Structure 1
Amino acid sequence: MLGTGYPHHVTTTSQQEVYRFLEDRFACAQTCTQCARVCAMRASLAEPDGTHDQELLRRKGIMCAEVCDATCRALSEEERQDESGIRGQLEWCRVACLECAHVFDEDPGGAEVARVCHACARACTDFLETLS
């Protein structure tokens, strides 16, 4: 069982749990970064033509990119947040990615963004399980 969520504060039954924690944290941060990049790129390509669908794609892409970027920053600032703060950030990111994925699942050109968003949501879920 992990303690406060950080390696230097962690009470574990094995070194393997610490390594898994760090690997999951890094994988989640990397996936968040990739998701932020893909969503921001896709949002910038959405034509501001005033249609509801294009505006929704743009807004969701920007929101997801910002949440993923904030999550990556939170995961890299290990001494600034406790486990509950990290859990909240991960849950926010997971929900934002799922919402974004749902919107891009409906867009004919959004398959790649949806795939990356789903992967990011899974990485957040996996990391949350590590904290349990």
Structure 2
Amino acid sequence: MTSTTSQQQLVQFLEDRFTCAQACTDCARACALRASLVDPDGTEEQEQVRRKGILCAEVCDATCRVLAEQNQMDEAALRAQLEWTRTVCLECAHAFDRYPGAEDAAQACRDCAQACTEFMATLD
């Protein structure tokens, strides 16, 4: 029974890892698209939102690459990467909330943050 439980835990771990990687990919795309729609010659606040979108896309892309690697990564480093991604996504979602038309990108950020939180729970 232990091997079955271990196998089920491994399957759940891999499913959660894939879900998190997919959420990171979706978020990166949404943030990059949203950042490209912000007028670079706009207000300082618009420029900050654009930069947050670009940062979020870059962080999510990096996290997706880390999650896609086959080698074993130090759990503490993986947890730190996921926490960083979660934080950046929530900050970006909050910034996007102030702009009409950015609802999809804000939701992608929240979904990614949630996926990171859920995956971190499997690391305990």
Q: What is the TM-score of this pair, normalised by structure 1?
A: 0.87
Q: 1:51 to 1:12 in 2, by over 3 A?
A: farther
Counterpart of 2:61?
69
**How many residues align structurally?**
122
Q: 1:55 to 1:114 in 2, by over 3 A?
A: same
1:53 shift after superposition: 2.3
RMSD over aligned CA atoms reads 1.5
115, 121, 129: which one pairs with 2:113?
A: 121
Higher relative helix content: 2
Identity of aligned residues (%): 62
Matched, 1:79 2:71: yes
7, 11, 20: which one pairs with 1:19?
A: 11
Matched, 1:44 2:36: yes
Q: 1:55 to 1:19 in 2, by over 3 A?
A: same
10, 23, 26: which one pairs with 1:34?
A: 26
- Gaps of at least 5 residues in structure 1 are 1-10
90, 98, 106: which one pairs with 1:98?
A: 90
1:50 shift after superposition: 3.5
Detail structure 1 runs of 4+ shifted over 6 Å in the superposition.
none
Partners in 1 of 2:30 and 2:115 — Cα distance?
16
Q: What is the TM-score of this pair, normalised by structure 2?
A: 0.92
Partners in 1 of 2:71 and 2:47 — Cα distance?
38
1:59 shift after superposition: 0.2
Counterpart of 2:101?
109
- Gaps of at least 5 residues in structure 2 are none
Partners in 2 of 1:98 and 1:129 — Cα distance?
18
Deviations 1:46-69 (A, max 9, x none): 101240221012100000000000
